[in-house]
Amino acid sequence: MAEEILRITGGQKLRGEITVQGAKNSALPIMAAALLCSGETVLHNVPRLTDVYAASRILNHLGMRCKMEETTAVISPEGLTQTEIPDADMRAMRSSVMFLGPMLGRLRACVITMPGGCELGPRPIDLHLDAMRQMGVQIRESQGKIICTAEHLHGARIPLPIPSVGATENIITAAVLAEGETVLTNAAREPEIADLAAFLNQCGARITGAGEGTVVIEGVKSLHGTEYTVMPDRIAAYTWLCTCAAAGGTVCLKGTAPRDMESSLAVLRAAGCRLGICRDRIYLDSSQPLRSVRYIRTMPYPAFPTDAQALICAVLCTAQGTGMIEETVFESRYKHVGELLRMGADIRVSGRTAVITGVRSLHGASVEAMDLRGGAALAAAAAGAEGETVLRGLHHLDRGYDRFAETFNSLGGIAKRTLISASEREKNALNA
């Protein structure tokens, strides 16, 4: 079967400016939350991603009408007729689980199966389901289906054992139309939570504390529609900064929210990049040789984000010295390391720890994206490598990056997306 590959020619210094896409991890929960609104919602700055199109398919399956026009989503409640999401749609991405809260909030019923998404180790949804039970939802499982009904959906005091982003979002979207008050403690503080709450409050919800550790939601009777602009994607922004850091050069990112990126920008400064910030712009100058960063630990926001781990890993492959990364959020988020080793990197992984010793330069190779951010990390490494890299597994990139190759090339990179036949694919694999 034919497949698409990305041929990246390394060694070009990057130069140029781009406007960063809207946040995938904000647009997706907000699109699901639009289910709660009894009027039309218009969302701007929605990135053009396969995950966004999957969310649109789910909304249309449920009976809403979701139309995508470039980076605008128009969602209207034509007639909510369905309460079950097909297994294939659930498997398409992790964010399919984000429909749990809104469907229970609006319909008091929902049938789902386990969500898909990047394979980063076990990604259970026990915290989501436990929280729904505390709000009066009855849940039973039958042949892989999770059948939820809520005769009486009521507020509750919910202490989260871990600050799960998805569980925080589902509790908020279930609570906005529940009876009474919900107090959520140890909530995730990621900026996307505050963006979701800002959207819902603009629709008439009563949410306070979103983005902090304790969120209070006062249930209301109904929500109207609104027009809203999704926040910038802080991980996409970091992706382009790391690509420039790995390749060398100077770039300017527009339409960013630097205050959401303080811990991750600090690591790029520690590695020797020169960064300038002015309102929604970030300038990066990476013309100096980079130095390793002794210790990086991924933690929930506002600490260094797990989604940036593969990206900084790619940058540190050619930084002088030895550094260590500890991945504390997901159990298995080093699949990009095996592919970086094919490019000449010197990385040793033991459990949740990776030790990176900088080499003079990476070389091109045939490599495969195993997950979304790992794939972007391989492209960043390829930008600075000597020779050509062939990147496969592009469907992972398309889930999270809006026009990845075009953006890369607009910064002076050389990336060509081509279709190769099965026989060419076998030949590539033999030469890999």
* 125 scored as a contact of ligand EPZ (CB under 6 A): yes
* CB closer to ligand EPZ out of 335 and 373: 373
CA distance 224 to 213: 27
* 118 scored as a contact of ligand EPZ (CB under 6 A): yes
* CB closer to ligand EPZ out of 7 and 145: 145
Q: What is the C-alpha R_g of the chain?
A: 22
* CB closer to ligand EPZ out of 195 and 286: 195
Q: What is the smallest separation between the CB atom of 24 and ligand EPZ, expressed in angstroms? A: 6
Which entry of 37, 66, 110, 118 is annotated as an active-site residue?
A: 118
* 167 scored as a contact of ligand EPZ (CB under 6 A): yes
* 373 scored as a contact of ligand EPZ (CB under 6 A): yes
25, with CB counted inside 10 A (0-12, 13-18, 19+), is buried
Helix (H) or strand (E) holding 76: strand 72-76
Site for ligand EPZ in 380-419 (CB under 6 A): 400
* 307 scored as a contact of ligand EPZ (CB under 6 A): yes
Candidate ranges 38-46, 68-76, 159-167, 278-286; the one touching ligand EPZ (CB under 6 A)? 159-167
CA distance 296 to 428: 36
CA distance 345 to 316: 9
Helix (H) or strand (E) holding 404: helix 404-410
CA distance 262 to 251: 18
Instruction: Region of 108 please: left (phi>0), alpha (psi -120 to 50) or beta.
Output: left
Strand partners, 284: 251, 275
Q: What is the smallest separation between the CB atom of 15 and ligand EPZ, expressed in angstroms? A: 27
* 334 scored as a contact of ligand EPZ (CB under 6 A): no
* 330 scored as a contact of ligand EPZ (CB under 6 A): yes
Helix (H) or strand (E) holding 62: helix 50-62
Q: What is the smallest separation between the CB atom of 215 and ligand EPZ, expressed in angstroms? A: 15
* 94 scored as a contact of ligand EPZ (CB under 6 A): yes
* 165 scored as a contact of ligand EPZ (CB under 6 A): yes
- Residue closest to 308 by CA, chosen among 232, 254, 240: 240
Active site residue 273: no
Q: Locate tokens 């306070």: which residue? A: 208
* 124 scored as a contact of ligand EPZ (CB under 6 A): yes
61, with CB counted inside 10 A (0-12, 13-18, 19+), is middle
CA-based torsion, 121, 127, 129, 132: positive or negative: negative
Residues with Cβ within 8 Å of residue 386, at least 6 apart in sequence: 10, 11, 361, 362, 363, 364
* 25 scored as a contact of ligand EPZ (CB under 6 A): yes
Candidate ranges 8-16, 165-173, 253-261, 288-296; the one touching ligand EPZ (CB under 6 A)? 165-173
Helix (H) or strand (E) holding 383: helix 372-384
**Which residue's CB comes closest to ligand EPZ?**
166
CA distance 429 to 422: 10
Q: What is the smallest separation between the CB atom of 252 and ligand EPZ, expressed in angstroms? A: 24
* CB closer to ligand EPZ out of 25 and 250: 25
Q: What is the smallest separation between the CB atom of 127 and ligand EPZ, expressed in angstroms? A: 3
Candidate ranges 5-13, 72-80, 160-168, 254-262; the one touching ligand EPZ (CB under 6 A)? 160-168
Q: What does the binding site for ligand EPZ look like in residue numbers (CB under 6 A)?
A: 24-25, 28, 94-95, 118, 122-128, 162, 164-167, 188, 190, 306-307, 329-330, 372-373, 400
Catalytic residues: 118
